[in-house]
Structure 1
Amino acid sequence: MNYFFIKHLHMTAAGLSIVFFMIRAYWSVSGSGMLQRRFVKIAPHVIDTVLLVCGVILAAMIGPEQPWILAKIVALILYIGVGTVAIKRGKTPASRGVAALIAIAIFFYIVGVAIRHNPMSWLA
């Protein structure tokens, strides 16, 4: 497979994923019924599946023994956990809002790791 194509598909899916997450988090905090729409329930799974599959392919191409790839995987697990609190598991709008902000911060940590190829992310 073409590394350039997979990388750009991965980056596009990441961009769509975070934008859609922020919209859904806003709807979750504001109590919008938009979260119940079929498209809103299905699209994140499609986008995130493309993101994950591309990530696995890229890791296989690069070599998964890179420390920065492990940092991205650990941060991704944290992002997913905190993201579920932001969208559906948080008991109050305030707790969902705080979780959304933390999830967004984790996402930007992951972006920094990807750009700098360093677990220290933007601090490297």
Structure 2
Amino acid sequence: MTELYPLFKHLHMTCVGLSVLLFAARGLGMLVDAQWIRNKLMRVLPHIIDTVLLFSAIALVIILQAYPFQTGWVTAKIIGLIVYIALGVVALKKGKTKKVRATAFILGLITVGYIASVAVTHNPMPW
């Protein structure tokens, strides 16, 4: 199964890039009240990419045998992901004011940076 590692790692990293790019674009669109962020593609595409991202992450965890709550950095990434999702919901849907949405958007991007640094260093405290 380890021979599949490069495939799943590449798929995972590609989906991460696309997911973050779409989040950033949608967040900026939200800040300027762009209408394109409300079209059907922008509401569906992120879910498709994030589903593939999740499945590739599960495959990598299995291949690496780096399981949550047994491997600190994987646990940190999962906790970071939950925080990122919550901030994304506030930034793109539930934030009552633009200031709240903008703050959640910036914090979401910071959280993605943390998750990425944990992924690179395999350390839950990468600083």
Band the TM-score falls in, shorter-chain normalisation? over 0.9
- TM-score, structure 2 as length reference: 0.92
- The within-5 A match list for 1:65-104 is 65-104=70-109
Contact 1:29–1:94 (8 Å) recurs in 2: no
CA drift of 1:31 comes to 1.6
Query: What do the CA deviations read for 1:20-74 (whole angstroms, capped 9, x no partner)?
Result: 0000011112222112111101100011011111001101111212110000001
Residue in structure 2 matched with residue 3 of structure 1 by the alignment: 5
- Is 1:113 matched with 2:118? yes
Aligned length: 122
The answer for the alignment partner of 2:22 in structure 1 is 20
CA drift of 1:94 comes to 1.4
Query: What's the RMSD between the two structures over aligned residues?
Result: 0.9
Q: AA paired with 2:22?
A: F
Instruction: Please point out which of 31, 44, 47 is paired with 2:46.
Output: 44
Q: How far apart, in 2, do the equivalents of 1:108 and 1:115 lie?
A: 11
CA shift for structure 1 position 4: 0.3
The 2-side partners of 1:48 and 1:115 are apart by 20
% identical equivalent positions = 39
Aligned amino acid, residue 32 of structure 1: A
* 4+ residue segments displaced more than 4 Å: none
Could you tell me the TM-score, scaled by structure 1's length?
Answer: 0.95
Give unmatched runs, 5+ long, in structure 1: none
Q: Distance in 1 between matches of 2:34 and 2:11?
A: 30
Conserved in 2, the CA contact under 8 Å of 1:28 and 1:88? Answer: no
